[in-house]
A and B are shown apart, each in its own frame.
Chain A
Amino acid sequence: MAGPVAPPVEPRPSAWGGLNRVLDTPAKRGAAIGLILIVMAVAPMAFGPYATVILTNALLYTILALGLNVVVGYAGLLDLGYAAFFAVGAYSVGILTTTFGWNFWATIPVAIVAAAVAGVIIGTPTLRLRSDYLAIVTLGFGEIVRIAARNLKITGSASGITGIEQPWLFGWHIATPTDFYYVFLALTIIGILVSVRLSNSRLGRAWLYVRHDEDAAEAMGINRVRVKLAAYVIGAIYGSIGWAFFAVNFTAISPESFSFKQSTLFLMAVILGGMGKIPGVILGAFIVVLAPELLRDLGSFRYLIFAVGLLLIMLYRPSGIWPVRSAK
Chain B
Amino acid sequence: MTGPSLILSGVTLGFAGNTVLQGVDFAVAPNSIVSLIGPNGAGKTSLFNCITGFYKPRAGNIAFEGTALLPLKPFQVTRAGIARTFQNVRLFRQMSVLENVMSGQHCRTSSGAVGAILGLPSQRREEREIHDVAADCLRFVGIAEDEWPREATTLAYGHQRRVEIARALATKPRLLLLDEPAAGLTRSEKQELIGLIGRIRDERGIAVLLIEHDTGLVMSISERVSVLDHGVMIAEGTPKQIQSDPKVIEAYLGSEDAEAALAL
Contact = CB atoms under 8 A, between A and B. Distances in A.
Contact of B49 (A1, A206, A216): A1
Interface in A277-328: 327-328
B236 to A, nearest CB: 25
A221 B171 contact: yes
Contacts of B3: none
A173 interface: no
14 contacts: A1-B49, A12-B151, A201-B123, A202-B116, A202-B123, A205-B102, A208-B95, A215-B54, A215-B90, A217-B92, A218-B75, A220-B78, A220-B171, A221-B171
Given A9-B153, A202-B111, A328-B149, A221 B79 contact: yes
B116 A217 contact: no
Interface string B103-127: 1101111011101110100010011
Given A2-B88, A216-B92, A220-B107, A203 B113 contact: yes
B119 A202 contact: no
A47 to B, nearest CB: 32
Given A201-B127, A203-B112, A221 B78 contact: yes
Interface in A7-26: 9-13
Contacts of B151: 9, 11-12, 327
Contact of A234 (B45, B113, B130, B171): B113
B94 interface: yes
Interface residues of A, number: 37
Contacts of A9: 93-94, 151, 153-154
B140 interface: no
Given A201-B123, A219-B74, A221-B75, A213 B90 contact: yes
Interface string B76-104: 00110001101110111111000100111
A234 to B, nearest CB: 6
A327 B154 contact: yes
Contacts of B32: none
A11 to B, nearest CB: 7
A7 to B, nearest CB: 8
A192 to B, nearest CB: 12
A186 to B, nearest CB: 16
Interface of A: 1-3, 6, 9-13, 194, 197-198, 200-206, 208-209, 212-213, 215-224, 230, 234, 327-328
Contact of B116 (A10, A12, A197, A222): A197
A202 B75 contact: no
A237 B107 CA distance: 26
A272 B86 CA distance: 35
Shortest Cβ-Cβ A-B pairs, 4 listed:
A221-B107, A12-B94, A201-B116, A221-B78
Contacts of A215: 54, 74, 90
A230 B113 contact: yes
A212 B75 contact: no
Contacts of A327: 151, 154
B92 A206 contact: no
A208 B93 CA distance: 9
A195 to B, nearest CB: 10
B58 interface: no
